[in-house]
Amino acid sequence: MLLSGKARLRTVDFGLSTSHFALLTLLLISAGSLSAQKTSVQNIEPRVEALLARMTVDEKIGQLTQMPGDISTGTDVAKDDLLNQIRSGKIGSILSHTNFQNKITMQRVATRETRLGIPIIFGFDVIHGYKTIFPIPLAQAASWEPDMIERIERIAAEEAAADGQHWTFAPMVDISHDPRWGRNMEAAGEDPYLGSRIAAARVRGFQGNDLSANNTLAACAKHFAGYGFVEAGREYNTVDVSEQRLRELILPPFQAAADAGSATFMNAFNTINGTPASMHKHLVTDILRGEWTWKGLVVSDWNSFGEVIIHGAAADEEEASAKCIGAGSDMDMAGGTFLKGMKKALDNGKVTNAQLDEAVRRVLRLKYMLGLFDDPFKYLDARRREATLFKPEFRQTAREAAAKSMVLLKNDGGLLPLNPSGPFKKIAIVGPYADSRSHKDYMSFWTLGIGTPNYDSTQVITPAMALKPALEALGFEVTVVQSDLSAASDEAAYSLSIQAAREADLVIACVGERGLDCGESRSVSDINLPRGQERFLRIATSNGAKPTVMVLFNSRPLTFAWANENIESILVAWQPGYETGNALVDILTGKVNPGGKLPVTFPRSLGQVPLYYNALNTGRPQERQGQMWTSGYLDSPTTPAYPFGFGMSYTTFAYDAPKVNKSKIKAGETLEVSVTVTNTGKIAGSETVQCYIRDLVADIARPVKELKGFEKINLAPGEKRTVVFKLTENDLAYWNGDLTRKADSGKFKVFTGGNSRDVQETEFLLEK
Ligand code: BGC
């Protein structure tokens, strides 16, 4: 959104209407966990009603309007006319504003120079940290540590709230099966169970247990819904999924976010089964507000109310306003559609006053919940800001998170960890990400505002900055050559790296995607290592003859068939954030034993996509490539390069067969599945023990495996631990053909193992 933000803003008739804006609700009522908030909600309702009764229609529409701040407009608020818009009550919320002082000015104008003094709510995309930049969300998911992810979001919220933000447009909880889609980096991968655990953790981290505290943010579960299933992985494209699949795969993380109390939700850009998500009444009103009894605020995505006209589902702003608010969506982000069309829609009876009031209530409620009416400047304390941003302990967590996110895919001959007393003395750190000065290479598109005076891009530790001194201290001789991808040709870009690699005993090749290759509007049609990097690897390693560690920087599953065959060690580093180099030191030297596991399948080729572990069996499953009349390819196996849940360690783990405590369970009973895992290697390590099920005979076809539990354990050498997973009837239930959720009686398989492929199994019966 960022790059096109300015352009889009110009298309908005910014001078037209009224407003203030945004608010939110609080699930809290239904979430049950936040008792302090429950109490506040009760006190808030009369205040909301009293204020609403005093508001004009224009003021109400203003409260439903959110407009972009300095990331799109530049930093001079007065010049951008934003202050005048606030003064005249046309804006209730500002998104993506970085300048602290200007936020104070805007809040002053909103609260002291408007008729009703309703405070502004500031929203921001706090996606993987605010000032202290953490690994991308997909990488964090590879840690399989919801508790750590919650800590990360706590830090992100603390920094953002200290800088005057009230609301983050996160977590993104979209499930996807398509690596082409650029926004994979923002989510938690392909699995609804893992995705749900992480969604809830993120909401808890952002919101803490008191939304009105000055170090918490309102969360926003997005994009509701289906965005991860855009056809051909092409950004903003059509989504067509059955309701059964929607409920089984796409909605669970949203429901988990709602249950965790996410204060807001965001519509998706896409159509879903023909209807733009922003005006999808079944999704927003029937499911979210109805079935889930969620009480929060729904904000559009950037101009997604206006885009329903472009989709061809509304004639003009009047109709778009009516359809979007009529579906249950509340606040208009960046497009100005409500400013242009809502009043006409009211005048012409297409929107009722009751509908308008309900949306405004949700905005006001959120502002009350955040404590903004009690003290509009509580998030704008310069001294607290100074004391909070970039705290050294935040970087410790960033380093921990980056190291725990990394996934070791291959380690032939135990090349890693690097051994100072081994045969290799001369190390070359080479490639386009060895020591890139483009700070975003190790982060992502969503480090908004980095590069503006408010942010410090020099905070990034590149691989070479940390690895060179650390490896030299261990006695290695280290050369660093950064390939310059802006060079006129691949030859020019890679020649010095190639030379350095040839002169070394061991190569650390830093390859992959740039940070700006991922995020919104960054879909790709090819997921091979980009920019001539496979050829570079072949030449630099003398066709695989040179011992090499490939460090992959990526934001989505990539394919690298040649490297899989020819390179000894492959480490998925993702985009690790500020602590990139330090985390690599931890992993490559063995200070931290890798424990990350893929939250998403890595295919062998793009032609296999969509490829995901929890697929249906087909009537003709293939056992081996070439087996005719089965579901496969003539030219490729059906299996992935690396399966969901996969990741190696420097130690080894042995799994005993799983055991169940009873062979049959009845409704209301709990099955215990236990598995004993032993560290059979020589060093301590962590292992994520995974538990999957398969419903063998159901009313409809069920996936060959479904993740139902995981536990990450640390084991000393020789230590063994028994992990127990508990399954109830609810864990066996699914959305069946007539769209009711139930479990079938009959036989189930249960599998345990260290990834979705390498498992052992047993069986049990559900009797009803
Ligand atoms: C993105 C959202 C984001 C919003 C505000 C949109 O373009 O799709 O995820 O929160 O912009 O920046």
pLDDT tens digits for 68-94?
Answer: 998 877 767 767 789 999 999 999 999
Question: What is the reported pLDDT for 39?
Answer: 38
Q: Is 520 in the pocket of ligand 1 (CB under 6 A)?
A: yes
Question: Which residues, 6 or more positions from 375, have their beta carbon under 8 angstroms from its beta carbon?
Answer: none
Q: Name residue 202's amino acid.
A: R
Judged by DSSP in three states, 167 sits in strand
pLDDT beyond 80 at 1? no
Cα four-point dihedral sign 26, 31, 35, 36: negative
Predicted pLDDT of residue 20? 28
Please write the tens of the pLDDT for every residue from 281-293.
999 999 999 999 9
Least confident of 47-61, 426-440, 598-612, 617-631: 426-440
Rounded to whole angstroms, the Cα distance separating 724 from 672 reads 6
Q: Which atom of ligand 1 is nearest to the CA of 448?
A: 12
CB distance 169 to ligand 1 below 6 Å: yes
Cα(327) to centroid of ligand 1, in Å? 20
Which protein residue's CA is at the shortest distance from atom 8 of ligand 1? 301
What pLDDT was estimated at residue 24?
A: 32
- pLDDT, one tens digit per residue, over 60-73 is 999 999 999 988 77
Which of 301, 304, 445 should be mutated for ligand 1, with most atoms under 8 A from CB?
A: 301
| Ligand 1 contact via 222 beta carbon (within 6 Å) | yes
Query: Which of 489-495's residues contact partners 24+ apart within 8 Å by CB, and which partners?
Result: 490/531, 490/532, 490/535, 490/536, 493/432, 493/532, 494/532, 494/536, 494/539, 494/540
Ligand 1 binding pocket includes 302 (Cβ within 6 Å): yes
Mean pLDDT (the chain, rounded): 93
Residue-level pLDDT at 450: 67
Of 11-20, 125-134, 471-480, minimum mean pLDDT range: 11-20
pLDDT given for residue 75 in this prediction:
63
Q: Is the CB–ligand 1 distance for residue 517 below 6 Å?
A: no
From 73, 224, 262, 302, mutation site for ligand 1 pocket: most ligand atoms within 8 A of C-beta: 302
State whether the beta carbon of 415 lies less than 6 angstroms from ligand 1: no
pLDDT, tens only, 418-428: 999 999 999 99
| Cβ of residue 187 lying under 6 Å from some atom of ligand 1 | no
Q: In the numeric block, which tokens belong to residue 189? A: 């991968």
Q: Which of 461, 401, 492, 415 is nearest to 146 (CA)?
A: 401
Q: Which domains does the chain have, with CATH numbers?
A: 395-608 (3.40.50.1700), 653-767 (2.60.40.10)
Query: Whats the size of the chain, residue-wise?
Result: 768
694 lines ligand 1 (CB under 6 A): no
The rounded distance, in Å, linking the Cα atoms of 492 and 485 is 9
pLDDT in tens, 183-235: 999 999 999 999 999 999 999 999 999 999 999 999 999 999 999 999 999 99
Q: 765 pLDDT band (50/70/90 cuts)?
A: very high
Q: Is the pLDDT of residue 257 over 50?
A: yes
Q: What is the pLDDT of residue 509?
A: 98
Shortest-distance Cα residue to atom 10 of ligand 1: 169
How close is the Cα of 159 to the center of ligand 1, in Å? 20
Could you tell me the distance, in angstroms and rounded to a whole number, from the CA of residue 165 to the centre of ligand 1?
16
Is residue 18 very low, low, confident or very high in pLDDT (cuts 50, 70, 90)?
very low
Which of 9, 130, 169 gets mutated to test ligand 1 (max ligand atoms within 8 A of its CB)? 169
Q: Read off the pLDDT of each residue in 533-560 and give the average, rounded to a whole number.
A: 97
pLDDT tens per residue, range 453-511: 555 667 899 999 999 999 999 999 999 999 988 888 888 889 999 999 999 999 999 99
pLDDT value of position 451? 61
Distance (angstroms) between ligand 1 centre and the Cα of 650 equals: 39
* Nearest ligand 1 atom to alpha carbon 220: 10
CB of 95 shorter than 6 A to ligand 1: yes
Q: Is the CB of 480 under 6 A from ligand 1?
A: no
Reported as a single tens digit per residue, the pLDDT across 724-742 is 999 999 999 999 989 999 9
Ligand 1: centre distance to CA 447 (Å): 13
What pLDDT score was predicted for residue 5? 36
| pLDDT of residue 593 exceeding 70 | yes
**Number of helices followed by number of strands (H, E) in the chain:** 25, 29
In this prediction, residues 146-152 reach a mean pLDDT of 98
Ligand 1 atom showing the smallest separation from residue 334 Cα: 5
pLDDT at 528 over 50: yes
Residue 193 Cβ contacting ligand 1 at under 6 Å: no
Q: What is the pLDDT of residue 73?
A: 75
Mean pLDDT (whole number) for 141-169: 98
Cβ atoms within 10 Å of 642's Cβ, excluding its own: 24
Residue entry with tokens 């509340």: 330
Instruction: Record the pTM.
Output: 0.94
- For residue 350, what pLDDT is reported? 98
pLDDT at 340 over 90: yes
Cα 570 to averaged position of ligand 1 atoms, centre (Å): 33
DSSP summary character for residue 90: E
d(CA 747, CA 375): 59
Integer Cα distance of 364 and 370 in angstroms: 10
1 in contact with ligand 1, CB cutoff 6 A: yes
Which tens digit of pLDDT belongs to each residue from 20-37? 223 333 333 333 333 334
Give the ligand 1 atom nearest the CA of 170: 10
Q: How far, in Å, is the centroid of ligand 1 from the Cα of 656?
A: 46
pLDDT at 455: 55
| Ligand 1 atom closest to the CA of 2, numbered from 1 | 12
pLDDT surpassing 90 at residue 6: no
Q: Using the mean position of ligand 1's atoms as its centre, give its distance from the Cα of residue 666 in Å.
A: 46
- Token pair, residue 691, equals 């538990």
pLDDT of 40 > 70? The answer is no
Q: What is the DSSP string of 261-321?
A: T-SEEEE-SSEETTEEGGG-HIIIIIIIIIIT----EEE-STTHHHHHHHTTS-SSHHHHH
Residue 301 in contact with ligand 1 by CB distance below 6 A:
yes
CA 206 / ligand 1 centre spacing (Å): 18
The reply to whether ligand 1 has any atom less than 6 angstroms from the CB of 190 is no
Confidence band of 3 (pLDDT split at 50, 70, 90): very low
Measured in Å, residue 125 CA sits from the centre of ligand 1 at: 7
Low-confidence winner among 27-31, 40-44, 282-286, 365-369 (lowest mean pLDDT): 27-31
The CA angle 66-70-73, to the nearest 5 degrees, is 85
Active site residues: 301
Percent of the chain at pLDDT exceeding 70? 93
DSSP string covering 104-160, please? HHHHHHHHHSSSS-PPPEEEE--SS-SSSPPPPHHHHHTTT-HHHHHHHHHHHHHHH
Tell me, using a 6 A CB cutoff, whether residue 734 lines ligand 1: no
CA-1 nearest atom, ligand 1 = 7
Quick one: which atom of ligand 1 is closest to the CA of 186? 9
